[in-house]
């Protein structure tokens, strides 16, 4: 599949990245290059091959149901760009019509 | 005495015998930073006071006869994508320019007796191979300041090479410890996936990231690994496999060992001087009693493509949390959250990071997942199986760490479109294998490294072979 | 045109663990905002998830109680989307390998509703919109105390054919999960939430019609009403030759209508992929069987047993098992006062009334099974009358005091002493010669009046049967 400007702009929306016209052009070219390079994977028959998700086989480690002391509200909010009433403040969630 | 030039294993003995103090040693290292770092740019943040305070505490404890870890008092530098409580952790990004985490990484807690001299420069979010994508500045190679230190752990490698730290930690997702170690003439170890807790290391590609040491000697790397290895209840992908004793067998030599030489690596477009040094390394090991045998890793040529897709796919998700809500940069004056997200991320991330997020988002998106992400994970298994097969014939593998010598700053542009620059280091990450880069001397005045790749959790073997190589080529001087 | 209603429900239930599903923060409801948080559930860089064993146990128990097959291997995926209350911008959930599949719930009409799957996931935080609603809000405030609480999602097959069935499915589901002690299932605290998919199709058709997804259903009643509204709306659209638009609609409780959520610019693309930070969850067969063996008797089985063992009818047994606590209370009382129908009647009428007016659940009230049993004994042996018993129950319900003590303290014992009653009857008869005369001339009403006078004199404590008997005897003798 080839990638074009339109696809890059769609993907940028999905990834919530504002990109300039100029960047869009550059990203399209560079990503197209990488994807063209990655085409080589299609030369390999992977029928019946299990995807490798974690490189070292391990079983899930489970934690006990124990509550531990964690961050205080002050610590939790310390790095926040904007705070009100002990909470993180964000602009309106629904875009204005 | 120029203490800053010595390796940690020697210094720790001097400290233990109280012939030197941690404060004196730390002072010397800080002085090197003062002298050199304006030009080198290895550090984003220098923590002189904090380092001296820790040194003083260690000295006091030692004076009282308290039991201390072997490396207590050895000046340490941390790559700036490893979280330090209350201390700025930037990932070399505008996004985290002023971010102070409320907690420390597990490795940081484990190394709390080592005076922390500062947080080192890296490619933004560890995405790069030259430390040029840093939001702050590039890091220069101590051997030739017109050249890059490599990356992404370029700051840590340059700091250790220049005597601005005795030991350092880096992170390695596709070669980010080993390649800068090779470029700067120091030792770099990427442990087995799961050997060292990732808790507190800002994630790039979760299934490949590992924290590891960058040091001036193989023995130092073994000592550092000893300190940081082991299961962590906070990282579900940290292994319960018992931690070996990495130093006891270190100097046993390589007689009778079988070293596999993957023919596909030698078929790469290697710089002739790299190839020459590599051949010398083979010969040195044979002279020491090992036998070098040819092995085949037939899927090597696919490794870079797999890496781009898997690493970027994971990164696109890992980096989604940088949204301007709870911490870090937020773009000003956004009328709504969608605009706030897009502008925050558009302005906060640099070009390379955005490119990788876009590629990864594409590879995971509806209609592309099977074609790219799933396909890549399948080929990843084939790459990993190659190693399994090779290890039935040999104890470990020897390969070049890089295909080339350190390149000039700014030259990376001309390398764009060359997708296989990291092909020597990537496969070990895909397969989760431990890999160690060891310097094997200079070529045209620039360091060259070779790489040993071991079986899962068999860091002992590669450290042993690395130590043997070091005996042949000698440790590099501190620049 | 005749349409068939097709409904499927997706229910999210918070697991009753002490700590969150992937970190050790408290799951306690309420508390200062952002005070039950850690680097992981705040989505800070570098933090990692570790699965809570108890959450797996509870999810497994829920799945088994719903008759599902629990899989030995299940895996976690990341569901990627941006929203201010989703800290890491992905939700850890299960995707192609869920914990369990293929269960069912049997409705009272005998019909079974299939359960497609039960899977584990993590809760998001909470957005407080500063304004009338999300649309009007100028800004929102984010609290992450809830972020990372363990959830199970229970997806039904589209087997439900009416809003009433949907409501019953939910009631049964809630009872089962409460019995299994998996969740509190408090809709008002958000520990149980329901989304509904609904479509219509021509009766007899095999194909599914276009569905809408209903959200903001905050009670079982709301689920039923919203579905009723949607049945009406969709059938009108279809009858007028229109087409149902596939969309998410939100229920407006006050106006009693559903309306479309503002459609997003583009369809969601969650980019699911295997969560690399969590290894596959492997459950041992023995462990699953152990949990199965520890399952309590579930509501349907218990109702059947109540019918058999206590002779309750279907309706009464259904009410007695509506919550595990009620059923336990019932059985404990019956053990002490072995008249099962009488106990059920008191619980269904008088106790239920007190629970409703005090807005309590049986386990929250101060009433104890031993006190209810004691009260019924007092009625049975004639110590108090039925009407006094209601007063005593109210007091015992409010204070937890023993009925005997209440009766004693307030002197509420019934007068069953014949001699004492005869005296009172004599004085009443003497004081009301006109009524006595009326009685003699056959006016039945007069007897009632005289009984009333006896009751008045004894403040209602005269044994009514005995009073009747004595009064009649007395009048006959006159």
CATH label of the domain that carries residue A41:
1.10.20.60
Q: Per the residue annotation, which of B79, B110, B119, B464 is the catalytic one?
A: B79
Residue C371: which pLDDT band, with cuts at 50, 70 and 90?
very high
Summarize the confidence of residues C200-210 as an average pLDDT. Answer: 91
Question: d(Cα C245, Cα C250) in Å, to the nearest integer?
Answer: 14
Q: Which comes out higher in pLDDT, residue C267 or B278?
A: B278
User: What is the helix (H) or strand (E) element at residue C431, kind and residue range?
Assistant: helix C418-431
Determine contact: C96 vs chain B, CB below 8 A: no
User: Is residue A68, in this structure, part of any structural domain at all?
Assistant: no
Interchain pair C271, B316: CB under 8 A = yes
Q: By the 8 A CB rule, do B90 and B135 touch?
A: yes
- From the list B208, B197, B199, the residue with the least C-alpha distance to B175 is B208
pLDDT value of residue C264:
52
Interchain pair B327, C278: CB under 8 A = no
Question: d(Cα B111, Cα B217) in Å, to the nearest integer?
Answer: 18
Q: By the 8 A CB rule, do C71 and C99 touch?
A: yes
Among C36, C142, C282, the residue with its CB nearest the CB of A90 is C142
DSSP-derived letter for residue B301 is G
Look at residues C352, C379, C410 and tell me which one is the last residue of a structural domain.
C410
Contacts 24+ apart (CB under 8 A), B336-341: B336/A91, B336/A92, B336/A93, B336/A94, B336/A95, B336/A96, B337/A90, B337/A91, B337/A92, B337/A93, B337/C82, B337/C84, B337/C140, B338/A16, B338/A95, B338/C82, B339/A91, B339/A95, B340/A90, B340/A91, B341/A16, B341/C82
Q: Is the pLDDT of residue C265 over 50?
A: no
Show which subunits contact C, needing at least 3 CB pairs below 8 angstroms. Answer: A, B
Q: Collect all residues of chain A within an 8 Å Cβ-Cβ radius of residue B103.
A: 71
Contacts of B365 (CB under 8 A, 6+ apart): A11, A14, C269, C271
Q: Is the pLDDT of residue C443 over 80?
A: no
Q: Is B12 a catalytic residue?
A: no
pLDDT value of residue A97:
45
User: Is residue A73, in this structure, part of any structural domain at all?
Assistant: no
* Structural domains counted in chain A: 1
Do C366 and C267 share a structural domain? Answer: no
Taking CA B417 as the corner, what is the angle to CA B415 and CA B419, rounded to the nearest 5 degrees? 90
DSSP-derived letter for residue B203 is P
Residue A32: give the domain boundaries.
1-45
Q: By the 8 A CB rule, do B337 and A92 touch?
A: yes
Do C181 and C34 share a structural domain? Answer: yes
pLDDT value of residue C355:
94
Residue A96: which pLDDT band, with cuts at 50, 70 and 90?
low
Question: d(Cα C428, Cα B146) in Å, to the nearest integer?
Answer: 121
Q: By the 8 A CB rule, do B295 and B262 touch?
A: yes
Q: Is the pLDDT of residue C154 over 60?
A: yes
Q: Which of residues 194-213 of B touch A (CB under 8 A)?
A: 194, 207-208
Residue C105, beta-bridge partner list: C113
Determine contact: A6 vs chain C, CB below 8 A: no
Determine contact: B209 vs chain C, CB below 8 A: no
Residue range B149-201, pLDDT digits in tens = 999 999 999 999 999 999 999 999 999 999 999 999 999 999 999 999 999 99
Do C304 and C283 share a structural domain? Answer: no
Determine contact: C264 vs chain B, CB below 8 A: no
Residue range C39-96, pLDDT digits in tens = 999 999 999 999 999 999 999 999 999 999 999 999 999 999 999 999 999 999 999 9
Do C281 and C340 share a structural domain? Answer: no
pLDDT value of residue C357:
92
Interchain pair C78, B317: CB under 8 A = yes
Summarize the confidence of residues A21-39 as an average pLDDT. Answer: 95
Residue C324: give the domain boundaries.
297-410
Find out whether the peptide bond into C456 is cis, omega within 30 degrees of 0: no
Interchain pair B320, C89: CB under 8 A = yes
Q: By the 8 A CB rule, do C35 and B221 touch?
A: no
Residue C263: which pLDDT band, with cuts at 50, 70 and 90?
low
pLDDT value of residue A95:
67
Question: d(Cα B403, Cα B408) in Å, to the nearest integer?
Answer: 15
DSSP-derived letter for residue B192 is P
Interchain pair C90, B320: CB under 8 A = yes
Q: Is the pLDDT of residue C345 over 90?
A: yes
Whole-Å CA distances, C247 to A58, C211, C217, C257: 42, 8, 16, 15
Q: Chain A: residue nearest B420 by CA?
A: A37
Interchain pair B416, A76: CB under 8 A = no
Which two three-digit tokens encode residue B385?
């199986």
Look at residues C410, C437, C462 and tell me which one is the last residue of a structural domain.
C410
Which two three-digit tokens encode residue C316?
């009464």
Look at residues C273, C290, C307 and tell me which one is the last residue of a structural domain.
C290
Do C201 and C60 share a structural domain? Answer: yes
Q: By the 8 A CB rule, do C454 and C467 touch?
A: yes
User: Is residue A66, in this structure, part of any structural domain at all?
Assistant: no
Q: Chain B: residue nearest C86 by CA?
A: B321
Kindly give the confidence (pLDDT) of every residue in chain B, 479 residues in length, as a single tens digit, with 9 standing for 90 and above. Answer: 899 999 999 999 999 999 999 999 999 999 999 999 999 999 999 999 999 999 999 999 999 999 999 999 999 999 999 999 999 999 999 999 999 999 999 999 999 999 999 999 999 999 999 999 999 999 999 999 999 999 999 999 999 999 999 999 999 999 999 999 999 999 999 999 999 999 999 999 999 999 999 999 999 999 999 999 999 999 999 999 999 999 999 999 999 999 999 999 999 999 999 999 999 999 999 999 999 999 999 999 999 999 999 999 999 999 999 999 999 999 999 999 999 999 999 999 999 999 999 999 999 999 999 999 999 999 999 999 999 999 999 999 999 999 999 999 998 777 777 888 899 999 999 999 999 999 999 999 999 999 999 999 999 999 999 999 999 998 899 99
Q: By the 8 A CB rule, do C281 and C75 touch?
A: yes
Whole-Å CA distances, C56 to B50, B361, C25, C281, C282: 43, 31, 17, 9, 11
Q: Is B176 a catalytic residue?
A: yes
Q: Which comes out higher in pLDDT, residue C300 or B211?
A: B211
The residue count of chain A comes to 97
Interface test with A, best of C72, C134, C182, C279 (most A CBs within 10 A): C279
Q: What are the backbone angles phi and psi of residue C471, rounded to the nearest 5°?
A: -60, -45
* Structural domains counted in chain C: 3
CB neighbourhood size of A89 (10 A): 17
Do C388 and C261 share a structural domain? Answer: no
- From the list B105, B115, B28, B27, the residue with the least C-alpha distance to B68 is B115
- From the list C374, C429, C431, C369, the residue with the least C-alpha distance to C406 is C374
Show which subunits contact A, needing at least 3 CB pairs below 8 angstroms. Answer: B, C
User: Is residue A12, in this structure, part of any structural domain at all?
Assistant: yes
User: Is residue A28, in this structure, part of any structural domain at all?
Assistant: yes
Q: By the 8 A CB rule, do C58 and C16 touch?
A: yes
* Predicted-assembly ipTM surpassing the 0.90 threshold: yes
Do C279 and C150 share a structural domain? Answer: yes
Do C14 and C133 share a structural domain? Answer: yes
- From the list B158, B140, B278, the residue with the least C-alpha distance to B214 is B158
Q: By the 8 A CB rule, do C76 and B317 touch?
A: no
Query: Which letter, b or e, does each residue of B86-115 get, where b requires 16 or more Cβ atoms within 10 Å of its Cβ?
Result: ebbbbbbbbbbbebbbbbbbbbbebbebbb
Q: Collect all residues of chain A within an 8 Å Cβ-Cβ radius of residue B347.
A: 18
Q: Is the pLDDT of residue A59 over 70?
A: yes
Do C167 and C269 share a structural domain? Answer: yes
Q: By the 8 A CB rule, do B382 and B302 touch?
A: yes
pLDDT value of residue C342:
95
Which two three-digit tokens encode residue C266?
């583009």
Cα of first residue to Cα of last residue in chain C, in angstroms, is 77
Interface test with B, best of A3, A16, A96 (most B CBs within 10 A): A16
Q: What is the pTM of this model?
A: 0.91
What CATH number labels B1-479?
3.90.1300.10
Q: By the 8 A CB rule, do C209 and C201 touch?
A: yes
Q: Is B79 a catalytic residue?
A: yes
Whole-Å CA distances, C335 to B180, B229, B239: 78, 61, 54
Cα of first residue to Cα of last residue in chain B, in angstroms, is 16
Q: Is the pLDDT of residue C473 over 90?
A: no
Over chain C, what is the mean pLDDT? 92
């Amino acid at each position: 599949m080839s990638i074009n400007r339109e696809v890059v702009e769609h993907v940028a929306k999905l990834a919530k990245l504002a990109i300039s016209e100029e960047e869009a052009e550059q990203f399209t070219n560079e990503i197209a290059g990488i994807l063209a390079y990655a085409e080589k994977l299609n030369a390999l028959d992977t029928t019946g091959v299990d995807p490798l998700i974690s490189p070292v086989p391990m079983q899930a480690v489970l934690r006990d149901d124990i509550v531990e002391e964690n961050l205080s509200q002050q610590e939790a909010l310390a790095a926040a760009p904007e705070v009100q009433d002990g909470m993180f403040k964000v602009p309106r969630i629904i875009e204005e019509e | 005495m120029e203490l800053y030039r010595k390796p940690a294993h020697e210094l720790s003995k001097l400290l233990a015998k109280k012939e030197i103090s941690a404060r004196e040693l730390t002072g010397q290292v800080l002085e090197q930073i003062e002298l050199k770092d304006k030009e080198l740019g290895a550090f984003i943040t220098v923590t002189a006071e904090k380092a001296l305070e820790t040194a003083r505490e260690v000295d006091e404890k030692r004076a009282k006869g308290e039991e201390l870890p072997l490396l207590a008092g050895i000046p340490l530098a941390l790559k700036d994508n490893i979280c330090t409580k209350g201390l700025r952790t930037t990932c070399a990004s505008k996004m985290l320019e002023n971010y102070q985490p409320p907690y420390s990484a597990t490795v940081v807690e484990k190394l709390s007796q080592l005076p922390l001299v500062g947080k080192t420069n890296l490619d933004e979010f560890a995405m790069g191979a030259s430390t040029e994508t840093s939001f702050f500045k590039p890091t220069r190679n101590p051997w030739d300041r017109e050249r890059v230190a490599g990356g992404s752990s370029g700051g840590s490698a340059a700091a250790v090479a220049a005597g601005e730290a005795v030991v350092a930690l880096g992170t390695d997702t596709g070669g980010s410890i080993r390649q800068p170690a090779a470029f700067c003439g120091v030792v770099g170890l990427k442990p087995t996936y799961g050997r060292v807790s990732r808790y507190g290391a800002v994630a790039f590609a979760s299934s490949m990231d590992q924290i590891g040491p960058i040091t001036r000697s193989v023995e130092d790397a073994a000592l550092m690994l000893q300190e940081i290895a082991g299961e962590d209840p906070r990282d579900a992908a940290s292994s319960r496999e018992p931690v070996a004793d990495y130093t006891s067998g270190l100097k046993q030599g390589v007689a009778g060992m079988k070293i596999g030489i993957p023919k596909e690596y030698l078929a790469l477009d290697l710089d002739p001087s790299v190839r020459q040094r590599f051949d010398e390394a083979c010969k040195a090991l044979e002279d020491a009693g090992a036998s070098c045998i040819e092995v085949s890793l037939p899927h090597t040529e696919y490794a870079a493509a797999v890496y781009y897709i898997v690493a970027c796919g994971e990164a696109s998700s890992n980096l989604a949390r940088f949204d301007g809500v709870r911490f870090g940069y937020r773009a000003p004056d956004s009328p709504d959250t969608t605009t706030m997200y897009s502008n925050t991320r558009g302005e906060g991330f640099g070009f390379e990071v955005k490119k990788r997020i876009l590629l990864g988002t594409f590879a995971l998106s509806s209609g592309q997942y099977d074609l790219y992400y799933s396909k890549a994970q399948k080929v990843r298994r084939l790459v990993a199986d190659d190693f399994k097969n090779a290890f039935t014939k040999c104890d470990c593998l020897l390969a070049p760490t890089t295909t080339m010598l350190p390149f000039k700053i700014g030259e990376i542009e001309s390398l764009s479109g060359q997708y296989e620059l990291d092909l020597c280091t990537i496969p070990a990450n895909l397969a989760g294998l431990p890999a160690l880069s060891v310097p094997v001397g200079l070529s045209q005045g620039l360091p060259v490294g070779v790489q040993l790749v071991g079986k899962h959790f068999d860091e002992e073997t590669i450290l042993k072979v690395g130590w043997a190589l070091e005996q042949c080529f000698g440790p590099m001087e501190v620049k | 045109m005749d349409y068939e209603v097709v409904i499927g429900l997706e229910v999210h239930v918070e697991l009753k663990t002490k700590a969150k599903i992937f970190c050790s923060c408290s799951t306690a409801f309420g508390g200062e905002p952002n005070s039950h948080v850690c680097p992981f559930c705040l989505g800070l860089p570098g933090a990692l998830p570790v699965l809570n064993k108890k959450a797996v146990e509870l999810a497994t128990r829920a799945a088994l109680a719903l008759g599902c097959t629990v899989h030995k291997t299940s895996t976690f995926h990341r569901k990627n989307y941006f929203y201010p209350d989703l800290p890491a911008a992905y939700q850890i959930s299960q995707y192609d390998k869920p914990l369990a599949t293929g269960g069912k719930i049997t409705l009272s009409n005998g019909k079974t509703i299939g359960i497609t799957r039960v899977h584990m996931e993590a809760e998001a935080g909470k957005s407080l919109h500063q304004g009338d609603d999300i649309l009007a809000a100028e800004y929102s405030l984010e609290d992450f105390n809830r972020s990372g609480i363990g959830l199970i999602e229970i997806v039904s097959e589209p087997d439900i054919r009416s809003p009433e069935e949907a409501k019953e499915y939910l009631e049964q589901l809630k009872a089962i999960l409460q019995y299994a002690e998996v969740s509190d299932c408090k809709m008002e605290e958000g520990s149980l939430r329901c989304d509904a998919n609904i479509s219509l199709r021509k009766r007899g058709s095999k194909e599914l019609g276009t569905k809408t997804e209903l959200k903001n259903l905050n009670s079982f009643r709301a689920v039923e009403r919203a579905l009723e509204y949607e049945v009406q709306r969709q059938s009108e659209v279809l009858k007028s030759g229109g087409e149902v638009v596939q969309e998410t609609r939100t229920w407006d409780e006050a106006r009693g209508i559903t309306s479309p959520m503002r459609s997003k610019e583009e369809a969601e693309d969650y980019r699911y992929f295997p969560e690399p930070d969590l290894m596959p969850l492997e459950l041992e067969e023995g462990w699953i069987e152990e949990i199965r063996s520890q399952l309590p008797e579930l509501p349907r089985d218990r109702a059947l047993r109540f019918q058999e063992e206590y002779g309750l009818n279907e309706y009464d047994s259904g009410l007695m098992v509506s919550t595990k606590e009620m059923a336990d209370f019932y059985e404990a009382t019956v053990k002490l006062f072995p008249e099962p129908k009488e106990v059920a009647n008191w619980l269904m009428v008088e106790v239920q009334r007190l629970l409703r007016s005090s807005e309590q659940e049986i386990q929250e009230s101060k009433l104890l099974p031993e006190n209810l049993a004691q009260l019924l004994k007092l009625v049975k042996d004639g110590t108090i009358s039925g009407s006094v018993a209601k007063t005593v129950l109210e007091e015992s319900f409010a204070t937890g005091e023993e009925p005997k003590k209440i009766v004693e303290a307030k002197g509420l014992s019934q007068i069953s002493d014949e001699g004492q009653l005869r005296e009172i009857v004599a004085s009443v008869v003497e004081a009301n010669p006109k009524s006595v005369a009326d009685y003699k001339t056959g006016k039945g009403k007069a007897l009632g009046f005289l009984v009333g006078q006896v009751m008045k004199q004894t403040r209602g404590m005269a044994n009514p049967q005995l009073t009747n008997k004595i009064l009649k005897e007395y009048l006959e003798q006159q």
